Chains A and B, each alone.
Chain A
Amino acid sequence: MPSERLEPSTRRTPVLSVRGLRASIAGRSVLRGVDLTVNRSGVLAVIGPSGSGKTTLLRCLNGLHVADAGRITAGTGPDVHFDDAAGRRDAPRLRHRSAMVFQHHNLFPHMTAMQNVCVGPIAVQRRAADLVEQEARALLDRFGIGDRASSYPNELSGGQQQRVGLARALALRPDLLLVDEPTSALDPELVGDVLQLMSELAAEGWTMVVVTHELAFAADIADHIAFLHEGRVLEEGPPGAVLRSPEHDRTRQFVARLAH
C-alpha cells in the first residue's frame, strides 16, 4: 500500500514524466507538445476548457490512446517513446503502472461490485484470489459500500458506482491513479463526498492526476495545477498561483468564467 512508500527521501521522485507529447484523434491534432511531471504522492489537477485535450491526455497516460510523438515514463516502468511504430506498440505497458477512474464509471454490468474490483487483480495480475477478495472487501467497506458488495452496477446509485470504480482502480495497486472528471456525472450534493474521499487518498500518499472542470475541487485536492489550452500546457504551478493570479489572459478568462 502507498503509505509504506512515504519516506521523505522518495517524496520528490517523479512518478510520472511526460515530454513533448503529441496526439491526434481522427487526424485532428489534440495534444500539441505536453510536458508534465508528477512527483510521488503529488496530486496534479488538469483544468481547461472542453476540447482542450484533458481526457485525451489522461487516456494517453494509460495507453488507451496511443500518442503520435513524445515520451511517457510512469512509475517504475520503462520509458515509452511514441516517435516510431515500435515504441507506439509499447503503449499498453503503461497500463501496468496506472489505473483509471472513468467519468461514466464504465463498471462491468454483468459483474457484482465485488467482481468488478477483483477481476483485474485476479485475472490479469494473477494474485491469490482470497487475498484479493479480502483487500477488495476492505476497500468497499472503507468507501461505505461494503453492504453492496454483491450488488450489480444497475442496482447502485451514481455515487456508489463511482466508489466501486475507485476501488477497482486502487485494487490494481497502481503507481499512479488517473481520475477523469470525478464530479461531472454526480448530483451536486455528492460532490463534497467525492472530494472528501479523494483528499483522504491524497493524504495517504496516492499519486494522482485528476481532470476536472470544478476549480474549487481542483484547488482543494491538488498541489499542482496545469491549465491545458488547445493541446498545450499554457500555465502550471501551485493552485494559489494558477487560480488566483494567473499569468495568461486565457487562464484568467477561464478562471473568471468558472469561479462565480
Chain B
Amino acid sequence: MSDGWTQALHALGPMITGALLGTVPLALASFSLGLALALGVALMRLSRHRMLVAPARAYVSVIRGTPLLVQLFVVFYGLPAVGIVIPPWPSAILAFSLNVAGYTAETVRAAVAAVPRGQWDAAYMMGMSHTMTLRKVVLPQAARIAVPPLSNSFIALVKDTSLASLVLVTELFRRAQQIAAFTQDFMRLYVEAALVYWAVCLALSAGQSALERRLTRYAI
C-alpha cells in the first residue's frame, strides 16, 4: 500500500471521531433547539393575532433570505464587535438553531394546518382546551405528516455543520482540513471526508424510514 493510502487510512479514525464528537452532536443539539423554536414560530404564524403573525413572518423571511454562512459569521465574528463574545460551539449551535427554526417553522405550520378541522371539533366537543387539543390530538398527527420533510431538513443540517469548521468548531471537516494541511494530499482526504458524510447521511435515512414505518400503523 502506498503512503497516500496509508495516510488516508490513518485519517479515517480522526474523521470518524470528528463526526461522532462534532458533526452529530452539533446537528442533534441545533435541530432539537431549532425545532422547539420552530413550533413556537409556527403557532405564532397560525394565530389570529396580527401582533404574533407579523414577527413570525418577518423571522422566517429574514432567515430564509440570508445565507447560513453569513448568519454564522454574524454570530461568531459580528457579535463580539458589540461586546457579545460567544465561544465556537455555542455560536455554531445558536446560528444553526435559528436557521433550522426559520426553515422548519413552515414545515410545522403546514403540517398543523393539514390536520383536518374535524379533529379540532372532536377534541373541543369533549371539552379539551386549545392547548390540550394541540398536545393530544393535533401535534401527534402533524408530527406524522412532518416526518419526511423534517428528516430532509435534518440531513441538510448534518451537511451544513461543515460550515462550523469556519468558526473553529472541531468537527469532521475541520479534522479533514487539519490533516490535509499536514499531508498536502487534498484530493484523497476531502473525498474521504465526503464519504464519511455520505455514510452518516445513509444511516440517518435508514433511521428516517424506520421512524416512518413505525408511524404508519394509522393513516391520516
Q: A92-B127, A106-B122, A108-B141 are in contact. List 12 more A-B contacts (CB 8 A).
A: A59-B121, A96-B127, A106-B121, A108-B122, A108-B137, A109-B218, A110-B140, A119-B136, A120-B127, A123-B128, A152-B217, A172-B126
Shortest beta-carbon distance, B192 to chain A, in Å?
43
Q: A108-B137, A109-B218, A110-B141 are in contact. Are A92 and B124 (CB under 8 A)?
A: yes
* CB-based contact B127/A95 at 8 Å: yes
Residues of B within 8 A of A (CB): 116, 118-119, 121-128, 132, 136-137, 140-141, 144, 217-220
| Nearest CB in chain B: distance from A61 CB, A | 11
A132 within 8 A of B: no
Taken together as a complex, chains A and B put the C-alpha atoms of A119 and B128 apart, in Å, by 10
Number of interface residues of A (CB under 8 A): 26
Interface centre among B116, B119, B121, B122 (most CB of A within 10 A): B122
Q: How many A-B residue pairs have C-beta atoms within 8 angstroms? Tell me.
A: 62
B127 engages A64 (CB within 8 Å): no
A104 sits at the interface (CB 8 A): yes
Minimum Cβ distance to chain B for residue A175 (Å) = 13
On whether the beta carbons of A152 and B132 are closer than 8 Å, the reply is: no
The B-contacting residues of A in range 51-68, CB under 8 angstroms, are 59, 62-64
Q: Does A102 contact B (CB under 8 A)?
A: yes
Chain B residues near A102: list those with CB within 8 A: 118, 121-122, 125
CB–CB A106/B118 < 8 A: yes
A100-B125 Cα distance, complex, nearest whole Å:
7
Which B residues lie within 8 Å of A62 (CB)?
125
By the criterion CB–CB under 8 Å, are A154 and B128 in contact? no
Which A35-72 residues sit within 8 Å CB-CB of chain B? Answer: 59, 62-64
Distance in angstroms between the alpha carbons of A115 and B127 in the assembled complex: 16
Residues of B within 8 A of A86 (CB): none
Top 5 closest pairs, chain A to chain B, by CB? A120-B126, A106-B118, A106-B122, A152-B218, A124-B127
Closest chain-B Cβ to A99's Cβ sits at a distance in Å of: 7
Residues of B within 8 A of A239 (CB): none
**Among residues 116 to 139 in chain A, which have CB atoms less than 8 Å away from a CB atom of chain B?**
119-120, 123-125
Q: Enumerate 6 A-B pairs (CB-CB under 8 Å) in ascending A order.
A: A102-B118, A106-B119, A106-B122, A108-B123, A109-B219, A119-B136
Q: Is A198 an interface residue (CB 8 A)?
A: no
Neighbouring A residues of B140 by C-beta, 8 Å? 110
A59, A119, A125: residue with the most chain B Cβ atoms closer than 10 Å: A119
- Residue among B118, B124, B125, B217 having the largest count of chain A Cβ atoms under 10 Å: B125
Which residues, 154 to 212 on A, are CB-close (under 8 Å) to B? 154, 168, 172
Are B127 and A109 touching (Cβ within 8 A)?
Answer: no
A153 at the interface (CB under 8 A from B): yes
Within 8 A of B (CB), among A135-157: 152-154
A255 within 8 Å of B by Cβ?
no
CA distance in complex: A102, B127 (Å): 15
Q: How far is the CA of A106 from the CA of B141 in the complex (A)?
A: 13
**A21 contacts the other chain (CB 8 A):** no
CB distance from B54 to the nearest CB of A (A): 24
For A80, what are the chain B residues with a Cβ–Cβ distance below 8 Å?
A: none
In the bound complex, how far is the Cα of B118 from the Cα of A125, in angstroms? Answer: 21
Asked if A153 contacts B127 (CB within 8 A), the reply is no
List A contacts of B119 (CB < 8 A): 106, 108
